[in-house]
Structures are given as structure tokens and as C-alpha cells.
Amino acid sequence: TDMARTLVELFYDVVSPYSWLGFEVLCRYQHIWNIDLRFRPAFLGGIMQATGNKPPAMLPKRAEYMLKDLKRMAKYYQVPVQISESDFQRIFGTSNLGAMRFITAIDMTQPQYLEPLSREFWIRFWSQREDISQPENILAVARQAGLSPELTQKLFEMISSPAVKNRLKETTEEAIKYGAFGMPAVVAHFNGEPHLFFGSDRLELLGSVIGE
């Protein structure tokens, strides 16, 4: 008999490099494990604010470790995250709200593009070090992800709509309700219960809990 598939939700924000690692690993495992992977674009800033969390890079020792950690993980998982000390200022100085609203708009209208579009934002921000808050970069990302100019224009207009703003807010609140305090937040629904895993380095534990 075909075993029921386990729903695994990935709450992520493209400003988070660990979210990119978790995203790529889960994208690989979704073809091996008996899971339904659901991408949940949310707003990291909202989660940090609601839970009183601070970016790890704000603590000098953690920032120092994070640089090494991300380099090792990028190499291990073969995800082209590029990071140096100057990136911390870049991250704090970039608004990712427009990008996350754009991704939310695609989730609401054409979810089949969610995976390539999200990946393209990470590549721009974390490999090519581009400012994803700029409209022309958002449009370039959409083009690269294979969206038509018409669809891109429609999504771009949706960014400022209450529907998109509310959806992103609701998804963020949902993550917080599950106990998220940072990103990525992975929630596996198993045996009638949600199991929260924080970060991109707990995925073998996730596999173990859901019997994979």
C-alpha cells in the first residue's frame, strides 16, 4: 500500500543564507523521501521582532563562527553561498520585504514557479551580491526564473496590494505559532503533530523523526 506522504513545510526568507542551504537540501530529499514539500515564504524581520531574537552576526564571536560555518556548509552541500565579513553590513542595509512580497505573489498565483524564483533570489543576493531591493533586480530575477513579462508585471503590481501584504504577514504569524524564532523553520506534520526543526543542520534528525 502507498504510505501517506508526510507534509513538510519550509518557512524561509531569501535574506537568510541558512534558508538557502535548507531549501536546496529539502529540494533534493523531496524526490527520495516520502514527503510533500511545501514552500512557505515568510518575513524573517517579523519573526525576529515578534520573538525578540537578534541576527547572529550582531554578536562578534557568533559572526566570526558563522563565516566559517557558512563556507563549510556551502562546500559540503554544494550551494554557491558567498560570504565575507562585509556581507553582514550589506544584509542589515537591504530591505528584503519587496522580494518576499514578490515571492508571496507568485505563491498565490503561479506556485509552480516558487522553487526557481526563490532560488534565483538567493543566487542574486548570496552569489552575485546584488541588491534585491531594487525593482530592476526583482524584474531580472523573474526573467531568469522563466516568468513571462506579462506575469512579471502583474506580480510586480501585486506587491503593494493588501492581499499580498496580508498573506505574507499571515504566513509569518503561522511560523511563529509553530514556535519559529529564526529561519529556516521546518515543520513536519507527522502522527497528527507538528514537529519544528530550526536551521539547515537538523535535516537528518527530521528524517529520523518521520521514519526516513
Catalytic residues: 16
Question: What is the side-by-side strand order in the sheet with 193-198?
Answer: 35-41, 6-12, 185-190, 193-198
Length of the chain counted residue by residue: 212
> DSSP label at 39?
E
Task: Work out the angle at residue 173's Cα, subtended by the Cα atoms of residues 170 and 129, and round it to the nearest 5 degrees.
Answer: 85
Number of Cβ within a 10 Å radius of residue 182: 21
Minimal CA–CA distance to 13: which of 35, 46, 38? 46
The SS3 assignment for 177 reads helix
Measured distance CA(50)–CA(30) in Å, rounded = 31
Measured distance CA(102)–CA(168) in Å, rounded = 10
Q: Do 81 and 21 meet the contact criterion of CB atoms below 8 Å apart?
A: yes
Task: Work out the angle at residue 126's Cα, subtended by the Cα atoms of residues 59 and 130, and round it to the nearest 5 degrees.
Answer: 110
Q: Do 12 and 200 meet the contact criterion of CB atoms below 8 Å apart?
A: no
